């Protein structure tokens, strides 16, 4: 009896040890960078490149920023300052990228002066050294794709008629207002500055899992400046992109945003849903902006990267043999880059995808 017990105990221990040995390499491998099979040895930076695109040429996970540039911090204090003409070199030994010298052919085309002749000899004199400005550096992501979403309110958490600044009257009782027209606004605070944006509530964002109201999509109408504060503050419309009328609301001008972002995974496990695709579309492609149902209160920050998953298909079981349905695993197919967070929702840019992004697809910590 004792011999059988010890035999069973030994068998179970071997199974447990085998399982641990099987799982350990997977855990270690998860933190390693995977170099693409077709990764080049080097890449010459050109105008229009982004750091995300460059990293994606070499690695399967371009969002692992600190690891990709980890051994290059002495050379690149801030990886956001890389310029056209720089050469990015893949160090296959360490699995990192660094900035190196340009190939002779490239360097010659950039720096080589024209051959001297009697007609183009120029006398040189000392001058101040020119250094590249941040306007010429390449961005982390394509800023042109998100620029319209950085300067406008876009999402309003709550509209309370008792406190929300609202256009209550117009000069000469005009129905429609445009640039340089005068309007009168109620509930306009005196301690929030004189620059305001005008919007009209659009789509209501609702959490698909809890039915909680997450906010309103704001339709941007224009800008206004306060001429005089009072119970009905007098404002002058300085910009109009659509018709403005009584009942429209006012919000503070959006906060300033960085020109570059640092891609990184959230420190916690975040699971979100795609609840809206900009423009009212049902599917999204690369470089499309989507809204997800998680925001600042959930720990999301600008620069966070989330993996996109499509729900696994359900294979129907056979009726004859009474087989149960089989649910296939969710399919990971792309990456989202969170670039603007509100309290309950966030805007994210589709940076990688091999399938169309659909409403209610999952976005979670990679």
Q: Which of 19-28, 131-140, 202-211, 308-317 has the lowest mean pLDDT?
A: 19-28
pLDDT in tens, 285-300: 999 999 999 999 999 9
How does residue 28 score in pLDDT terms, banded at 50, 70 and 90?
A: very low
Long-range contacts of residues 15-19, Cβ cutoff 8 Å, at least 24 apart: none
7-18: average pLDDT: 43
Residue 271 pLDDT > 80, yes or no?
Answer: yes
Who wins on pLDDT, 173 or 18? 173
The pLDDT value recorded for residue 161 is 85
Tally Cβ neighbours within 10 Å of residue 280. Answer: 8
Q: Which of 121-130, 148-157, 241-250, 255-264 has the lowest mean pLDDT?
A: 121-130
The pLDDT value recorded for residue 74 is 53
The pLDDT value recorded for residue 22 is 35
309-336: average pLDDT: 80
The pLDDT value recorded for residue 126 is 46
The pLDDT value recorded for residue 119 is 52
Length of the chain: 366
Residue 365 pLDDT > 50, yes or no?
Answer: yes
363 burial type by CB count under 10 A (0-12 exposed, 13-18 middle, 19+ buried): buried
Q: Are 108 and 228 in contact (CB under 8 A)?
A: no
Residue 135 pLDDT > 90, yes or no?
Answer: no
Residue 5 pLDDT > 60, yes or no?
Answer: no
Tally Cβ neighbours within 10 Å of residue 364. Answer: 18
Residue 61 pLDDT > 80, yes or no?
Answer: yes
234-249: average pLDDT: 95
Q: Are 273 and 362 in contact (CB under 8 A)?
A: yes
The pLDDT value recorded for residue 136 is 76
Domain 271-364 has CATH 2.40.10.410: yes
Q: Where are the domains of the chain?
A: 42-102, 155-252, 271-364
Who wins on pLDDT, 21 or 345? 345
**DSSP run (H or E) holding 109:** helix 104-111
Q: Are 265 and 365 in contact (CB under 8 A)?
A: yes
Whole-prediction pTM: 0.74
pLDDT in tens, 108-125: 444 444 555 555 554 544
Who wins on pLDDT, 123 or 190? 190
53-61: average pLDDT: 90
Residue 270 pLDDT > 90, yes or no?
Answer: yes
> How wide is the angle at C-alpha 19 spanned by C-alphas 14 and 20, nearest 5°?
100
User: Average pLDDT over the chain, rounded to whole?
Assistant: 81
């Amino acid at each position: 009896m004792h011999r059988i017990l010890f035999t069973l105990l030994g068998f179970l221990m071997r199974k447990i040890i085998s399982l641990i040995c099987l799982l350990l390499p997977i855990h270690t491998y998860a933190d390693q960078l995977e170099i693409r099979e077709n990764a080049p040895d080097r890449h010459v930076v050109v105008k229009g490149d982004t750091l995300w695109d460059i990293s994606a040429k070499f690695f399967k996970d371009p969002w692992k920023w600190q690891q990709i540039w980890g051994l290059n911090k002495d050379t690149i204090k801030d990886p956001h300052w890389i310029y056209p003409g720089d050469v990015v070199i893949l160090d296959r030994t360490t699995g990192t990228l660094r900035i190196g010298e340009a190939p002779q052919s490239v360097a010659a085309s950039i720096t080589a002066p024209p051959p001297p002749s009697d007609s183009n000899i120029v006398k040189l004199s000392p001058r101040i050294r020119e250094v590249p400005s941040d306007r010429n550096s390449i961005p982390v992501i394509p800023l042109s794709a998100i620029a319209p979403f950085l300067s406008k309110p876009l999402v309003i958490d709550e509209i309370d008629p008792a406190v929300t600044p609202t256009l209550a009257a117009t000069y000469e009782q005009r129905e429609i207002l445009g640039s340089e027209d005068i309007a009168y606004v109620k509930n306009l605070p005196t301690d929030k500055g004189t620059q305001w944006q005008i919007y009209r509530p659009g789509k209501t964002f609702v959490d698909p899992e809890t039915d909680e109201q997450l906010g309103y999509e704001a339709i941007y109408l224009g800008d206004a400046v306060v001429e005089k504060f009072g119970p009905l503050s007098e404002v002058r419309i300085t910009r109009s992109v659509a018709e403005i009328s009584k009942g429209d609301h006012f919000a503070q001008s959006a906060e300033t945003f960085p020109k570059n972002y640092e891609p990184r995974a959230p420190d916690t496990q975040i699971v979100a849903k795609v609840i809206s695709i900009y423009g009212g579309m049902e599917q999204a492609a690369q470089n499309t902006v989507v809204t997800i149902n998680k925001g600042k209160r959930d720990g999301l920050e600008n620069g966070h990267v989330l993996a996109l998953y499509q729900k696994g298909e359900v294979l129907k079981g056979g009726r004859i043999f009474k087989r149960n349905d089989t649910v296939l695993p969710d399919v990971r197919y792309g990456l989202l880059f969170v670039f603007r967070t509100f309290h309950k929702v966030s805007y994210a840019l589709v940076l990688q995808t091999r399938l169309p992004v659909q409403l209610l697809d999952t976005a979670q910590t990679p």
